[in-house]
Amino acid sequence: MDELATWLADPDPATFPYAPVVAGFHGTGKHFVAQHTLKQLALAREAIRGTTAPAVLPRWLDVLLDKWDDRYDYRSYLALSLLPLPGTDAGSALVARDRLVAGLLGDVLGFEHDAAAGRTALLPEMRPGPDLVAKRFRLGLKVARPALARLGAGPLADDDGTAVTGLRTAMRRLLGPDELRALDLSILPVYVSHDEYLFIRVLQVFETTFAMLVLRLRAGITALDDRAWAVAAGHVSVAARILTESAPTFSLLATMQVESFRTFREFTVGASAIQSRNYRLLESLCRLPDDDRLASAAFHNTPDVREQVRHGLRTLEQAYTEAVGPADRNPPAGAEPVVAAFRAFAAAVRRWRQTHYRLAVRMLGDRTGTGYTEGTPYLSRARTIPVFLNDDLDDAAGAAGRT
């Protein structure tokens, strides 16, 4: 790549040729980028080591070079290290989630809008028809609207096409320049199929939501330990509401064309949702996994979460059980809303798992997963795992099998 060669002759982080590199990756897909270009990028990474480069540049180069480094996985495929995910503060987690979700959805629906109007040549293979694009608008806006309302950035127009334009405008107001750049740099499909753009952005929405849920569940545990029943109920209720509110995102993902998905997924082997650290934390913060589950592929693929569990990760179920005291004693005043919140959250998780399984059956059939798992049989078993073991907290706890 000429621009990289020129930059390497005088490597100043402030003048790095982001746009030509992005265009090069988009032109072929990450899987097919020339080895010479990857070698140039590896040299660029060495050149900025120890400099005062913008924080995004070394992280982005690591994402670009994941296959070159033989460390390609779900996190690098989704460029999660670039995104402003909810951090450590449960109080601001929902705002952070809503801002990023609005940005991700505004970007992907904007891409759909531009492609349908012939305004972009990006990812040209298997463009969807107008009916499918209209369905994507409707489902994406259904998730975006409540997030925008909480941010005070709505309402959007009733007409979906106009609403997508409004969402893009709102996105540029809500996110700062560095966040918008990170968003632009975080879409790195492995191939040139149109629908992979949707696939990546929806998975990034999922990860953003999971990160927020983890913070709320942790805050719920702390509140239970403090016997702050109303606060605990509030945190878990918000988690249940946002997970339920996010359900149409799966419907949006289900609009992918099966042939397109099966084409680009051939080049995503090594990256799988089973490697989602935040989802595994979400599962583990509800209750301690059984030994068989802890030894399964799910935790093998998230070793840091497995170690947290082994070293005494505190859970909602533990905190609740200790807070209510012995089973033969009446629950303390204020416990009832907590139980209702737990049950609502458990139901939302079960629906999420079931929807994921149904989508995988449609898309994968009997194909194996890209994370070296067996695919849909794994998801079929996982959907039966109780969210909580206490019958009071989860309607399915008594009846469900354990895997």
Which one-letter amino acid corresponds to residue 205? V
Alpha-carbon distance 62 to 68, whole Å?
A: 9
pLDDT one-digit tens code per residue, 238-248: 999 999 999 99
Q: What value does the mean pLDDT take over residues 310-329?
A: 89
Residue 287 makes CB contacts below 8 A (sequence gap 6+) with 315, 316, 317, 318, 386, 387, 388, 389, 390
pLDDT in tens, 160-217: 999 999 999 999 999 999 999 999 999 999 999 999 999 999 999 999 999 999 999 9
Q: What is the pLDDT of residues 278-290, one digit of tens each?
A: 999 999 999 999 9
Distance CA 281, CA 313 (A): 10
| Burial (0-12, 13-18, 19+ Cβ within 10 Å), 272 | buried
Q: List phi, psi (to 5°) of 193.
A: -80, 130
Burial class (CB in 10 A: 0-12, 13-18, 19+), 37: middle
Q: Enumerate residues 6+ apart whose C-beta is below 8 A from 99.
A: 84, 151, 174, 175
Handedness of CA 248, 252, 255, 258 (dihedral sign): negative
User: What pTM did the predictor assign?
Assistant: 0.92
Q: How far apart are CA 357 and CA 185, in angstroms?
A: 30
The structure tokens listed for 61 are 């180069």
Tell me what pLDDT residue 148 has.
97
Which two structure tokens, joined as six digits, stand for 368? 């194996």
Class of CATH domain 90-382 = mainly alpha
Are the C-beta atoms of residues 314 and 360 closer than 8 Å to each other?
Answer: no
Domain boundaries, the chain: 2-71, 90-382
